[in-house]
Structure 1
């Protein structure tokens, strides 16, 4: 059994919070683990937001690993000092099409982390307000999806990054007012990066009903 030692108890707590939030979106969620040296990247996907979320964890010892496992089982095996890696599972399609490792270029025009957080909170309030204004018989899934897609599809600053990317970073605890954030691009991918992890998504396409349930 492979055991990944964590650099500090805070790393375990941060990873646990990430996995718990991921499981709220999908109780059967899988995560792809990629360890290189003292860094462990944990990839998950939030279907409602159509993004790949990456939580970076510092390891206490150097390790090499690339495996897809159950998020729930990983959470169960997580302890303050480390995590026992569960058996591999047949990975979902997204796990085989991750963002590229290299070739990222910084993009200008992204608001600060504090401003991004405020934009997300304002959008959540707008969504709830618009839903409350609807008559009961008009609160259909199609109408909620339409409102959500309109709000979360708005771009941030002078960039092409949709608001749903910042929403995902906010929901997963990656977006904090006291930490920097930057926008990177590589091919068709966009990446919102913070010291706590990243949110990656493709420039075009996506699932219907994005961000319908603000958390």
Structure 2
């Protein structure tokens, strides 16, 4: 049965639409997993350029029980920002990542994460370094393997006194999670078992500290 969800606030639908559009920018065939309960909707996506899980939540006007994996594009098309509603499209066969989500509880805050300005500056510096090193490569070394090596070196660097790789912050910035807000709530880092979660006012980035896979080479 098709479900139509109504958001609790006027900006919830627009914020979710922006998040879905950014996911589709990286993967036109992107799927998202939806979980709703207790008056909130959590939307999980995995932008392939970063190999992390991105999580955006939205408040609903009433409790709804839902757990489904759907097309991100179809979900975006079904959003009605004026009415503040979304119609859940038909379920799709989920990609492997959709079956391995971070835990709902047991998170503990980790100290040592730099402030938001320093996080944004670190991403900008890393992007500039990648581009500079790529341009310096001689023609015979300008290969995918060499660019992968440079990307792996840069984006695997950790932030402050934490184990959070720089690529997670790059993902947060690229998905719009690090933009300033009035009376900004600073990003915070949490851990639960092997998982790390970077929480911001606009969404979260989660990843496992082991078996993270390859790193992106593109700075944009």
- 2:102 & 2:29 partners in 1: Cα distance? 22
Shift of the alpha carbon at 1:122? 1.1
The answer (yes or no) to whether the contact 1:55–1:197 under 8 Å persists in 2 is yes
**Scaled by the length of structure 1, what TM-score is found?**
0.95
**Residues 127-151 of structure 1, C-alpha deviation per residue, up to 9 Å, x if partnerless?**
1111111123322111111111111
- Counterpart of 1:200 in structure 2 is 206
Q: Does 1:99 align with 2:102?
A: yes
Measured against aligned partners, the alpha-carbon deviations of 1:97-153 in whole angstroms (never above 9, x if no partner) come to 000111111111000122111111111111111111112332211111111111100
Select 1:114's aligned residue among 117, 121, 142. Answer: 117
Equivalent position to 1:159, from 162, 167, 185: 162
Residue 90 in structure 1 maps to residue 93 in structure 2: yes
Task: State the partner residue of 2:52.
Answer: 51
Select between 140-149 and 4-13 the one with higher mean Cα deviation. 4-13
Question: How far does residue 206 in structure 1 lie from its aligned partner after superposition?
Answer: 2.1
DSSP 3-state at the match of 1:128: helix
Where does structure 1 lack aligned partners over 5 or more consecutive residues?
none
Which has a greater percent of strand? 1
Alpha-carbon shift at residue 8 of structure 1 (Å): 3.1
**1:114–1:176 contact (8 Å) kept in structure 2:** no
Query: Which deviates further from its counterpart, 3-12 or 20-29?
Result: 3-12
- Find the aligned partners of 2:94 and 2:119 in 1 and give their Cα distance: 32
Distance of 1:21 and 1:140 partners within structure 2: 28
Partners of 1:163 and 1:74 in 2: how far apart? 30
1:144 corresponds, among 144, 147, 158, to 147
From 190, 195, 211, the equivalent of 2:196 is: 190
CA distance in 1, matches of 2:17, 2:127: 25
Post-superposition, which runs of at least 4 consecutive aligned residues in structure 1 deviate over 4 A?
none
Pick one of 127, 145, 152 that aligns with 1:124: 127
- How far residue 39 of structure 1 moved from its aligned partner, in angstroms, is 1.2
What's the CA shift for 1:31?
0.2
**Count of paired positions:** 214
Aligned mates of 2:48, 2:212 — CA distance in 1: 10
